[in-house]
Structures are given as structure tokens and as C-alpha cells.
Amino acid sequence: MRLSGHLQNTNIPVNERSPMILPKHHSFTTLGIIKAHHRTLHGGTQATLAYVRRQFGIVGRRSAVKSVIHKCIPYFRHTCRPQTQIMGNLPLERCKASSPFMHTGVDYAGRGFRAYKGYVALFICWATRAIHLEHVSDMTTETFLAASKRFV
């Protein structure tokens, strides 16, 4: 048996125009889903469903595809959930109210060309997240101390 739809007058192949109707729990259905899963390079449920839908009209296809995919070991190795990062506590200075720029952090940003390199020292307020930018010509200790002195 085959499905018939609105695509009877198109130039697509007969298997896509009128896919075969297959039962959910049949060995041929399982083999077709396994082939589609391998053709989609161990793709997920949506990718495998899209590939299967072009050839077969499976009754209850989503649950049939899921049951086959959940038995695939390479799929689960590559789609395992990443470990969650355990967040540390914020420093005390970051949590309590203080005047702006009483507690700061510093970072460097820069862009280098062949003729001239320029850097920016970013002073970041921990309480208000405001920033102060200072131009720095290079990344030596002397230029950082000069930028810090200008900041203060």
C-alpha cells in the first residue's frame, strides 16, 4: 500500500511522491530507520524523520524512530550532555555596596598591525560594572604602572 497526496503531478520520484505505508513494529521498518539513521550520519530524531518521510509512511513514525535511535551507541556517545560548570562564589568586594572604582579589575585589549601596535587597559569597577579605558603603547610593566597612575 502507498500513500497518495497532492504531489501526484510533480517530477519527484515515485517513492517520494507516494511513500509505502509500513507498520510501526516491523523488521523492515526498523531496517529502513536504521539505514536512514546511518545515511544522516547518526543524526537526531528530526534528521532521521525527514529522511524516512521521503521513502516511507510509517504509522507512529516518531516513536518508532526514537526507539531505534536510542539503541544506537555511536549516537549517544556523540550527543551526550556536557558537564555543567560548577560556579564558585563571588568575591566579597563584588557583592557588597561600595563607591565606584573602589575595587577594580584590569584587562588588556589590543590590536596589532605591522607598523604599529596599540593596546587599551580596561579598568572595570566590580560594584557598578563601569569601565575606564586608558591607552597603552605596549605591554610592559612601566606602561601599565603609568596607566594605573593616570587612572588613579
Grid coordinates standing for 136? 597603552
Could you say which of 78, 111, 126 is where a domain stops?
78
Our count of domains for the chain comes to 2
By three-state DSSP, how is residue 112 classified? strand
Which range marks the domain in which residue 64 is found?
14-78
- Answer yes or no: is pLDDT of 28 > 80: yes
The beta strand positions in the chain, using DSSP E, are: 20-22, 56-58, 104-112, 117-125, 131-136
Helix, strand and coil in the chain, % to nearest 5: 35, 20, 45
Is the residue at 83 inside a domain? no
With cut-offs at 50, 70 and 90, classify the pLDDT of residue 114. Answer: low
Nearest CA to 134 out of 112, 114, 149, 117 is that of 149
139 and 111 in a common domain: yes
41-69 pLDDT, tens digit each:
888 899 999 898 888 888 888 889 999 99
Asked if the structure places residue 107 within a domain, the reply is: yes
62 & 103 share domain: no
